[in-house]
């Protein structure tokens, strides 16, 4: 899936009856609702987790994204939380100015801040229930849709819809999360995924560090190298049937391109979600 990044909207919405109207700011056009920042956790100087309370009930499928905005700008963010959770959880990487536009504004928000929220989740980067093996490859924030899918799978025994599972049973599924980061403090959900993998033999977590020689990573004992260079070796060791396997890739465009190259002319099914375009 080639998801286009949203264009920045600097549109004065003179007819808007929405609460977010503020004449000193450019306005976001079209239908939107609002949400409130109720909790944030700053993992590093540029990685933050947000918990948003939607003003109206917000529907989405695990793996989809929401579109939030402030200061007249809006961007899509994949959702960490399961649809069964009350609040929307996000994991955001701040792109510093001059390149970053919305994220420097998000970085400044305090608890209680209101943001715009498009009415429902979007996107087709969702679990493919007809496959037995799910290889979830992500870089840093690219792990987000997989966390949502796993949370939903574990909390709702009627998901996925049995009619879409073809001849499979829930017990047949195997999930492998392969996450790459430069530094150990960037994984974001490593504690949760490590716990899930120790509790369930159908969940596997394989984090890798691409800069193992840097002092920040001196305690790292896990896999080393860029995750795209490790995927093939990891999958080949599983000895799984390609026709029963979907490889998902999410996050950094170069990682996705590389994984796609490795699997495009094979019997594996490949699905992608790019967070930005390579040429930007």
Ligand X SMILES: Cc1cc2nc3c(=O)[nH]c(=O)nc-3n(C[C@H](O)[C@H](O)[C@H](O)COP(=O)(O)OP(=O)(O)OC[C@H]3O[C@@H](n4cnc5c(N)ncnc54)[C@H](O)[C@@H]3O)c2cc1C
Return d(Cα 53, Cα 50) in angstroms, integer: 10
Place of tokens 């490859």: 137
Residue 48 CB neighbours (<10 A) = 20
Closest distance of CB 186 from ligand X, Å: 11
- Which CB sits closer to ligand X, 193 or 235? 193
Q: Is position 263 an interface residue for ligand X (rule: CB under 6 A)? A: no
Asked whether position 44 contacts ligand X by CB under 6 A, the answer is no
277: exposed, middle or buried (Cβ count in 10 Å: 0-12, 13-18, 19+): exposed
Closest separation in Å from C-beta 162 to ligand X? 28
From the list 100, 119, 212, 225, which residue makes contact with ligand X (rule: CB under 6 A)? 100
Tell me: does residue 10 bind ligand X (CB under 6 A): no
Closest approach, Cβ 2 to ligand X, in A, equals 10
Q: Is the Cβ–Cβ distance between 176 and 143 less than 8 Å?
A: no
- Asked if 147 contacts 49 with a C-beta cutoff of 8 angstroms, the reply is no
Within 128-157, the residues that bind ligand X by CB under 6 A are 141, 144
CB 276 within 8 A of CB 254: no
Among 63, 76, 138, 188, binds ligand X (CB under 6 A): 76
Beta bridge partners of 122: 65
187 binds ligand X (CB under 6 A): no
Binding site for ligand X (CB under 6 A): 3, 5, 65, 75-78, 91-93, 95, 99-103, 123, 141, 144, 273, 275-277, 280
């Amino acid at each position: 899936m080639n998801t286009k990044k949203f264009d920045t909207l600097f549109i004065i919405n003179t007819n808007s009856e929405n609460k977010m109207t503020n004449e000193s700011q450019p306005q976001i056009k079209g239908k939107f609702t609002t949400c409130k920042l109720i909790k944030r956790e700053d993992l590093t100087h540029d990685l933050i987790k947000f918990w948003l309370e939607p003003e109206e009930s917000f529907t989405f499928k695990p793996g989809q994204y929401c579109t939030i905005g402030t200061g007249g700008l809006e961007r899509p963010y994949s959702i960490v939380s399961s649809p069964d959770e009350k609040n929307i959880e996000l994991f955001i990487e701040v792109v510093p100015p001059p390149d970053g536009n919305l994220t420097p504004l998000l970085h400044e928000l305090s608890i209680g801040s209101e943001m715009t929220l498009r009415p429902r989740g979007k996107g087709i980067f969702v679990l493919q229930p007809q496959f037995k093996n799910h290889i979830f490859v992500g870089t840093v924030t690219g792990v987000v849709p997989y966390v949502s899918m796993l949370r939903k799978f574990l909390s709702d025994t009627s998901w996925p819809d049995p009619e879409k599972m073809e001849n499979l049973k829930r017990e047949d599924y195997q999930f492998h999360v392969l996450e790459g980061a430069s530094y150990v403090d960037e994984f974001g959900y490593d504690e949760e995924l490590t716990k899930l993998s120790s509790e369930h033999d159908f969940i596997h977590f394989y984090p890798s560090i691409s800069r193992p020689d840097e002092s920040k990573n001196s305690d790292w004992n896990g896999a080393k190298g860029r995750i795209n260079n490790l995927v093939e070796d990891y999958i080949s060791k599983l000895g799984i049937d390609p026709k029963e396997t979907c490889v998902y890739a999410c996050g950094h465009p170069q990682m996705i391109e590389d994984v796609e190259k490795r699997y495009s002319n094979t019997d594996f099914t490949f699905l992608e979600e790019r967070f930005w375009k390579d040429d930007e």
